[in-house]
Amino acid sequence: MKAIVLYSGGRDSSLVAHLLDHFGYEVKLITANAGIVKNSWKTAAKAGKILGFKHEVLKISREIIKRAAEIAEEDGFPLHAVNYAHKQVLEVIAQK
């Protein structure tokens, strides 16, 4: 079976990728990038390479990040903004 991990290059997403691999999944890492911070995806790409997984940088609309920031500001709870961004990125992936 195949699994896609929304990958930041940090400990949490690296652990998820490793565990999925351990349990027999074919893992692909995807890092979303809206181009706001130049080359911000490079750390994730490097970490993914060290771990030995396929890695892809997915260009996303800045509107996703803008709306996520609005959500965080509106409700004062960043988790809702993160959940919104994750959902939007998963929808972009599903459309591919």
Order of strands, edge to edge, in the sheet holding 2-6?
A: 2-6, 26-33, 54-59
Residue 96 has pLDDT above 90, yes or no: no
Return the pLDDT at 38.
80
Residue 21 has pLDDT above 90, yes or no: yes
Contact (CB, 8 A) for 17 and 5: yes
C-alpha to C-alpha distance for 53 and 2, rounded to whole angstroms = 12
Of all residues in the chain, the percent with pLDDT exceeding 70 is 100
Nearest to 80 by CA among 89, 92, 67: 67
